Amino acid sequence: MAAFYPLPVTQDLPTLRTKLQGLLRFLRDALSISNAHTVDFYTESVWERLVDLSPETVLAALKPAARAEAEAEARFSEARPLLGAEAGSGITDFPRIFCETSQRLVDVEAFALAAKCCSVQNLGICTSLEQLLAALRGNKKQRTGENLKPNEFMNMKKSHEVQAMSELICSIADYYGIKQVIDLGSGKGYLSSFLSLKYGLNVYGIDSSNSNTHGAKERNRKLKKHWKLYHTQSRVDVNGMALKMAKEKKVQHEMKYKVDTEKVCNSSSTKQEKMTNSDFLPDYSGSVISDIRIQMENLHTQPYEEENLCFVDAFSLIDFLPVDAIEPVSSLQISNREMSEANKGRRKMVSQTSESNIYSPLTSFITADSELHDIIKDLEDCLMVGLHTCGDLAPNTLRIFTSKPEIKGVCSVGCCYHLLSEEFEKEHKECTEEKWGFPMCQYLKEEQWCCGHNARMSACLALERVTLGQGLSTESLFYRAVLQDIIKEYYGITKCSQHVGKIYSKCSSFLDYVRRSLKKLGLDETKLPETTIMDYYEKYKPRMKELEAFNMRH
């Protein structure tokens, strides 16, 4: 249990408070920008209200940065001393960002710089994953295969998340000698099954959705069948399989790289998304790889109902094999006799590891007051984890952690911040909820801090995607904002309960967009002449740049 490196020390409370105060100072002015909705861009005069600059100035300052992140990084590093945050007043050292009287944005470069300095990474309050892993592992060998690369079957994002998180969870579990893990909001069990099959942990996956639990059970049952299939192929040379898999992975990698590149270029992913594993794989018909592949395909063509955030995913068998099941290709050079002895030993190990894997998917809606003993009969010292814990599930995970002595550690990554319940949001004043998702800390409670729904929605956007221009197109936002003015002026409606949805890509023109949207909203589109629709378009077209510039705020 003892590590050679001490665990990183968290900063003391006064330091954290000072940093939080600096962040709040910036956010107090910046939140109005984060909370503005592009749908209301023209109807609520968002640009005039919030920005005291020309759209061209904003675009000139932000566009190059968006296109060349590296350049921005360099500028940021140069400018960072400005912050002097460690010692002093943080972002107050920036030139004036907002006008004191009008509160409008007057310096976009300082705004971007301050936002960057206020990011979680740059506030200097976090411990890096590498540092934490080094401290947890100490001089111990990593239990799993450093030589196993992220798999190519799985959606890249999911693969990255599951692998990075599993590694950390396994290190914490090893450090504290823990075998039991509770995965809250486990969905279809990607993380849970990975932790159990690859790391031999006993995992309880809890999800509020029954269909997810069923899906997870079915998926796990099939994965276990793969294990059996793998073991019964005893005549198959494990090394040979490793070589084939390595070759296969290389080809997949090349093909996947090609597909990804094409995806970025065409920005049309529909076709690729429908591809099955066989679209990426070379032909190994008749081999064990082919059997495995067929089974893997069956596994992934199961029509599971997608709820919440869903991912196109698939695990390759190689990623479920314990590290000792697959020998590095270089071992092919050893003699046949040595190899057969090695294979015997290896098969034994694989068999032992697979039989000790336990993953139990359960259905339960978790709240801050959930009694884990009622849900898990053999609850013991455990870790509580969660990948993409939606809305209030993330804060409630932390609350459960602090209240249950059996839970020795927590590793949770929240998501869907728009689903967080906010205590100080005006709309919810009449609500009598006791445990709000936000804020959790006493300091923010005293401040009665509120982020607001739109700001939380913005927080869900993947910055990398927006930076690469993979967010919503300016034209689609423009169409929606102009439509809002038509709805307001022509139909006298300010609040719609219906949503227009994602129809932009299906429309041939602005006219088509407006007609289809009005139909969808249940409004009589026949009373609106074509010329009127086009008049609105012409009226706002010169101001499209404002919207483009405003959208760069992310």
Ligand X SMILES: C[S@@+](CC[C@H](N)C(=O)[O-])C[C@H]1O[C@@H](n2cnc3c(N)ncnc32)[C@H](O)[C@@H]1O
Does 293 bind ligand X (CB under 6 A)? Our answer is: no
Stretch that binds ligand X, among 258-266, 326-334, 383-391, 506-514 (CB under 6 A): 383-391
Does 211 bind ligand X (CB under 6 A)? Our answer is: no
With both helix axes pointing from N to C terminus, report the angle between 510-520 and 530-540 in degrees, rounded to the nearest 10: 110
Place of tokens 């640009």: 47
Stretch that binds ligand X, among 59-67, 143-151, 303-311, 338-346 (CB under 6 A): 303-311
Residue in 366, 407, 482, 547 binding ligand X, rule: CB under 6 A = 366
List the one residue out of 206, 200, 205, 204 whose CA is nearest residue 179: 200
- The answer to whether the CB of 223 falls within 8 A of the CB of 320 is yes
For ligand X, the closer CB: 434 or 538 = 434
The distance of Cα 341 from the centroid of its chain, to the nearest Å, equals: 44
For ligand X, the closer CB: 203 or 415 = 415
At closest approach, how far in Å is the CB of 55 from ligand X?
36
Does 315 bind ligand X (CB under 6 A)? Our answer is: no
Q: How far apart are the first and last CA of the chain?
A: 44
Does 137 bind ligand X (CB under 6 A)? Our answer is: no
For ligand X, the closer CB: 248 or 319 = 319
At closest approach, how far in Å is the CB of 306 from ligand X?
10
Q: What CA–CA distance (Å, rounded) separates 393 from 183?
A: 12
Q: What CA–CA distance (Å, rounded) separates 546 from 530?
A: 25
Residue in 181, 201, 325, 390 binding ligand X, rule: CB under 6 A = 390
Does 325 bind ligand X (CB under 6 A)? Our answer is: no
At closest approach, how far in Å is the CB of 526 from ligand X?
42
The enclosing H or E element of 512 equals: helix 510-520
For ligand X, the closer CB: 113 or 387 = 387
Residue in 110, 393, 482, 533 binding ligand X, rule: CB under 6 A = 393
Three-state secondary structure along 321-370? CCHHHCCCHHHHHCCHHHHHHHHHHHHHHHHHHHHHCEEEEEECCCCCCC
Stretch that binds ligand X, among 34-42, 109-117, 382-390, 477-485 (CB under 6 A): 382-390
At closest approach, how far in Å is the CB of 457 from ligand X?
15
At closest approach, how far in Å is the CB of 482 from ligand X?
33
At closest approach, how far in Å is the CB of 417 from ligand X?
12
Q: What CA–CA distance (Å, rounded) separates 163 from 165?
A: 5
Residue in 144, 171, 193, 212 binding ligand X, rule: CB under 6 A = 212
For ligand X, the closer CB: 200 or 391 = 391
Stretch that binds ligand X, among 225-233, 279-287, 388-396, 487-495 (CB under 6 A): 388-396
Q: What CA–CA distance (Å, rounded) separates 175 from 86?
A: 31
Does 388 bind ligand X (CB under 6 A)? Our answer is: yes
Place of tokens 């003391």: 12
Place of tokens 């022509």: 490
For ligand X, the closer CB: 249 or 456 = 456
**C-alpha angle with apex 187: 181 to 193, nearest 5 degrees?**
50
Stretch that binds ligand X, among 77-85, 184-192, 400-408, 436-444 (CB under 6 A): 184-192
- Given phi > 0 = left and psi -120 to 50 = alpha, else beta, which region is 185? left
Residue in 129, 156, 309, 334 binding ligand X, rule: CB under 6 A = 309
At closest approach, how far in Å is the CB of 38 from ligand X?
25
- The answer to whether the CB of 205 falls within 8 A of the CB of 360 is yes
Residue in 35, 208, 454, 467 binding ligand X, rule: CB under 6 A = 208
- The answer to whether the CB of 551 falls within 8 A of the CB of 474 is yes
Residue in 144, 159, 166, 186 binding ligand X, rule: CB under 6 A = 186
For ligand X, the closer CB: 347 or 404 = 404
Does 306 bind ligand X (CB under 6 A)? Our answer is: no
Q: Is 77 helix (H, G, I), strand (E, B) or coil?
A: helix
For ligand X, the closer CB: 297 or 307 = 307
Q: What CA–CA distance (Å, rounded) separates 126 from 115?
A: 17
At closest approach, how far in Å is the CB of 419 from ligand X?
8
List CB contacts of 261: < 8 A, sequence separation 6 or more.
Answer: none
Q: What CA–CA distance (Å, rounded) separates 220 from 194?
A: 10
Q: What CA–CA distance (Å, rounded) separates 419 from 437?
A: 9
Residues that contact ligand X, how many (by CB under 6 A): 20
Whether the bond into 439 is cis, omega within 30 of 0: yes
Residue in 108, 197, 411, 415 binding ligand X, rule: CB under 6 A = 415
For ligand X, the closer CB: 170 or 325 = 170
Does 185 bind ligand X (CB under 6 A)? Our answer is: yes
Residue ranges binding ligand X (CB under 6 A): 185-187, 190-191, 206-209, 212, 307-309, 365-366, 387-388, 390, 393, 415
